[in-house]
Amino acid sequence: MTRTLRTPQELVDAGLIAPAAASALEAVAARYSIAVTPAMAALIREAGAPIAAQYLPEPEELITAPHELEDPTADAPFTPIKGVVHRYPDRALLKPLLACPVYCRFCFRREAVGPDGGLLSEAELEAALDWFAETPAVREVILTGGDPLMLSPRRLGRILARLAAIPHIETLRIHSRVPVADPGRITPGMLAALTLDRPLYLCVHANHAAEFTPEAAAGLRGLHAAGLVLLGQSVLLRGVNDSEAALEALFRAMLRHRVKPYYLHQLDPAPGTARFHVPVEEGLALLRALRGRVTGLAWPSYVQEQPAGAGKMPLGMAGMRGGAGQAREAV
Ligand code: SF4
């Protein structure tokens, strides 16, 4: 298989879903994008349910639970200009496109992401870059989307170079699923585009130890050698990593591949994602069970997005010492 699967029929043809399931999934595909890269199709065959659950659509995605929200992170009120989200004083998001290598069934931006949408025009991109140049309070730019590593190396390199030339921008960060979901995109050209004279952090989204395939490992080695600092972000997901063993294996796999676990996200309440929900108390208990057993290097912050765009809240800092409760500061 050499190309990304994008329809229920293609998933049937690849043997990833049963033929009888396809017609019920057409309505899901009409609302939420599907993409399974060749690398992830192979991994579904090899590792089974924890990978399949992340990428293969299910009919219940069309059922919205009462607590689920179209825009759980509430980016809109914090958008000063198209493509920019400025929620915290010293950092802001730049979303140059909304395409991803895969479409995760639990995605918090699932109403927005897709292969056709969200690429900033040249004029919109210039305006967004000007906004960063004219906003000295912002010291960190976080490129997200969508997935910025879906851009061509030339376009991504140009954006990074422009941002790195702004004197008050001290650090750059990219959030990406590419290193595990589509590692073939980590080419010499991409590595050249990512080689900067400015600290560049790459936050790699991975949810299961099996995602660290030999191809992913090679890409991560290249990224590390190019001078990027690699961080890991994961979502706590029912059926994927909701056990002590799965979380321990995930965090240890990250460390073995030079990726420091940074965030474990509580699932955002995006529409049709209820099957992935793990209660916070259960997440805290899982992390508490790992405390002391795994090196502190493997320890991520367990965080939850607060309603109405109030930002991330670290969960259960007191709970980690044996009590319960939440820290009060935003991150
Ligand atoms: S890669 Fe990230 S933005 Fe894209 S679908 Fe997955 S979770 Fe959403």
179-199 per-position pLDDT tens digit: 999 999 999 999 999 999 999
The pLDDT of residue 73:
76
pLDDT at residue 321 above 70? no
Structure confidence at residue 67 as a pLDDT band (50, 70, 90)? confident
pLDDT at residue 322 above 50? no
Q: Is the CB of 103 under 6 A from ligand 1?
A: yes
Residues 220-248 have a mean pLDDT of 98
The pLDDT of residue 87:
92
69-321 classified as CATH 3.20.20.70:
yes
Atom of ligand 1 nearest to the CA of 235: 7
Q: How many CB atoms lie within 10 A of CB 50?
A: 21
Burial class (CB in 10 A: 0-12, 13-18, 19+), 112: middle
List own/partner pairs for 89-93 with CB under 8 A and 24 or more apart: 89/137, 90/137, 90/138, 90/139, 90/140, 91/138, 91/139, 91/140, 91/141, 91/142, 92/132, 92/135, 92/138, 92/140, 92/141, 92/142, 93/141, 93/142, 93/143, 93/144
Distance 291 CA to ligand 1 centre (A): 29
Atom of ligand 1 nearest to the CA of 177: 1
- The answer to whether the beta carbons of residues 312 and 306 sit under 8 Å apart is yes
Looking at ligand 1, which residue's alpha carbon is closest to its atom 8? 107
Structure confidence at residue 2 as a pLDDT band (50, 70, 90)? confident
Residues 65-87 have a mean pLDDT of 88
Atom of ligand 1 nearest to the CA of 146: 3
Structure confidence at residue 1 as a pLDDT band (50, 70, 90)? low
Distance 104 CA to ligand 1 centre (A): 5
Mean pLDDT of the chain: 93
Distance 1 CA to ligand 1 centre (A): 22
| Helix or strand run (H / E) with residue 124 | helix 122-133
Q: Which residues contact 15 (CB under 8 A, 6 or more apart)?
A: 45
- What is d(CA 64, CA 289) in angstroms, rounded to the nearest whole number? 32
Looking at ligand 1, which residue's alpha carbon is closest to its atom 5? 103
Residues 164-172 have a mean pLDDT of 98
Q: Is the CB of 147 under 6 A from ligand 1?
A: yes
Q: How many CB atoms lie within 10 A of CB 308?
A: 9
Structure confidence at residue 63 as a pLDDT band (50, 70, 90)? very high
Lowest pLDDT segment from 20-29, 269-278, 280-289, 309-318: 309-318
Residues 34-57 have a mean pLDDT of 98
Pocket probe for ligand 1: among 36, 56, 106, 107, the residue whose CB has the most ligand atoms within 8 Å is: 107
The pLDDT of residue 323:
34
Structure confidence at residue 306 as a pLDDT band (50, 70, 90)? confident
Residues 75-103 have a mean pLDDT of 95
pLDDT at residue 319 above 50? no
Residues 119-141 have a mean pLDDT of 97
Q: Which residues contact 159 (CB under 8 A, 6 or more apart)?
A: 94, 96, 125, 129, 143, 151
- At 330 the three-state DSSP class reads coil
Q: Is the CB of 36 under 6 A from ligand 1?
A: no
Residue with tokens 């990406």: 176
pTM, rounded to two decimals = 0.93
Lowest pLDDT segment from 51-60, 68-77, 219-228, 262-271: 68-77
The pLDDT of residue 329:
29
The pLDDT of residue 254:
98
pLDDT at residue 173 above 60? yes
Q: Is the CB of 181 under 6 A from ligand 1?
A: no
Q: Is the CB of 177 under 6 A from ligand 1?
A: yes
Residues 125-142 have a mean pLDDT of 98
Amino acid letter, residue 266: Q
- The answer to whether the beta carbons of residues 34 and 7 sit under 8 Å apart is yes
Cis bond before residue 146 (omega within 30° of 0): yes
